[in-house]
Chain A
Amino acid sequence: MNERDLDFQLIQRIQNGEQQAFTLLVKKYQNRVANILTRYVRNNGDIADVAQEVFIKVFNSLPSFRGDSAFYTWLYRITVNTAKNYLTSQGRRPPASDIDAMEADSYDGSDALKESDDPEGILRSQEIKNVILDTIKLLPVELKSAITLRELEGMSYEEIATIEDCPIGTVRSRIYRAREAIDKQLKPLLED
């Protein structure tokens, strides 16, 4: 973790007693944690509870986190261990094979959700996903390219600037404009 890393800065603040900084870590990673949990937790209703357990464990363990590895790698391990403990407590056997943190990023856990009990929630979620993906399709090419290289390929602004043959400031502006365009459509849906 380098010092410019947002996670690193948030963790430092939490370790210095600024508890509220943890809110941002939860907001940032809750979807990814839930996505990992779908591999283990089949009951939808339990995913939010187990995800809460994960973040409580993370918070309690943060004083000993030294930053030798990326925060997400550490979070991933805690998530899998918590999920396995959950399965054991439910009298079920954890899966024999694990997926690693890199595979988990591309793992589509939606198929694992067999006990969906909130059709309205699913429809709403699909609507949110559609709005985001449809808006990206309609973006001007340079904005679409910038946000895709950043979010899907994980490239730095410098790398994108090289590929797009433009200044870093332009990359920064394009990514921001792409996000704003999507957010304009997304915000009303989430504020309902």
Chain B
Amino acid sequence: MKDNNEQLSTLIDNEIIDHEVCESQLLDELITNKRQQAQFSRYHLVGDVMRGEVVDQFINIDISQQVMARIEKQAESAQVVTPDTPVYAMKESNNIVSFAKRFSQYAIAASVAGIVVLTSIVTSQPGIENNEPGIEVLNTVPFGGAVAPVSLQASHMQSKQAIKEHNERLDALLKDHQLQLQTQP
């Protein structure tokens, strides 16, 4: 007992020389032995009081247990937050989720674009017979046939018949163009 306490006294003064193994064993014991820890605290208290480094209300308080309890609690909560799933699996699932998310965004964008294109095709082909009075249109009749007037305003829905007629005119225009090409030298 005396030897242990004397070693402890020497240890806290950092004066153990050339006894590395002995010092390590002493520390092992000190870390686990409550009686030695109390002795360690009292030896330090003596020095603190001699140097006037104590607060009256604090001399009797030992916060080491509360601090260690908080550290353990902190470690436990860190373990709860850490998932069991391996990191590589998490990365893989993250990739799948991000791919699906990106794919769905492209799909939505493509659908919207498709609807816009179809709507514009349908609404930008006004039937000549359905032109309402008062709407300003630019009537241009190109070479080779009549074409629907151009307007920024398309207030009416085009009938299927109008589309069919438009396509027939377009076909006729193309045939005419091909014939002209064939007749040229």
Q: Report which B residues bind A (CB closer than 8 A).
A: 5-6, 9-17, 23, 27, 30-32, 37-64, 66-68, 70-72, 74-75
Give residues of chain A (135-192) contacting chain B, Cβ–Cβ below 8 Å: 136, 147-148, 150-152, 156-157, 172-173, 175-176, 179-180, 182-183, 186-187, 190
**A52 to B11 CA separation, bound complex (whole angstroms):** 26
Taking a contact as CB atoms closer than 8 A, the residue among B15, B53, B66 that contacts A31 in the complex is B53
Give the total number of A-B pairs whose CB atoms are below 8 A apart: 178
* Contact (Cβ within 8 A) B57 A31: no
Interface of A is mostly: helix
Q: What residues of chain A lie closer than 8 Å to B42, measured between beta carbons?
A: 183, 186-187, 190
Task: Decide if A55 is an interface residue (CB 8 Å cutoff).
Answer: yes
| Contact A13/B27 with A19-B71, A26-B63, A56-B71 known, Cβ cut-off 8 Å | yes
Q: What residues of chain A lie closer than 8 Å to B5, measured between beta carbons?
A: 176, 180
Taking a contact as CB atoms closer than 8 A, the residue among B14, B15, B27, B49 that contacts A129 in the complex is B49
Taking a contact as CB atoms closer than 8 A, the residue among B44, B49, B60, B62 that contacts A124 in the complex is B60
* Contact (Cβ within 8 A) B30 A48: no
5 contacts between A and B (CB under 8 A): A22-B71, A34-B58, A121-B60, A150-B13, A176-B6
B161 to chain A, nearest CB (A): 79
Q: What residues of chain A lie closer than 8 Å to B30, measured between beta carbons?
A: 24
Stretch at the interface among A2-10, A83-91, A92-100: A2-10
**A32 to B50 CA separation, bound complex (whole angstroms):** 12
* Contact (Cβ within 8 A) A26 B67: yes
Taking a contact as CB atoms closer than 8 A, the residue among A4, A20, A113, A148 that contacts B56 in the complex is A113
Using A28-B12, A31-B53, A176-B5 as known contacts, list a sample of 6 further A-B pairs with CB atoms less than 8 Å apart, ordered by residue number in A.
A4-B16, A26-B64, A27-B40, A30-B64, A151-B50, A186-B42
Interface of B is mostly: helix
* Contact (Cβ within 8 A) B63 A55: yes
**A118 to B60 CA separation, bound complex (whole angstroms):** 12
Q: What residues of chain B lie closer than 8 Å to A121, measured between beta carbons?
A: 56-57, 60
* Contact (Cβ within 8 A) B68 A22: yes
Q: What residues of chain A lie closer than 8 Å to B31, measured between beta carbons?
A: 13, 18, 20-21, 23-24
Q: What residues of chain B lie closer than 8 Å to A51, measured between beta carbons?
A: 58, 63
B30 to chain A, nearest CB (A): 7
Q: Report which A residues bind B (CB closer than 8 A).
A: 4-6, 9-10, 13, 18-24, 26-28, 30-32, 34-35, 37-38, 44, 47-48, 51-52, 55-56, 59, 105-106, 108-110, 113, 116, 118, 121-122, 124-126, 128-129, 132-133, 136, 147-148, 150-152, 156-157, 172-173, 175-176, 179-180, 182-183, 186-187, 190
A137 to chain B, nearest CB (A): 12
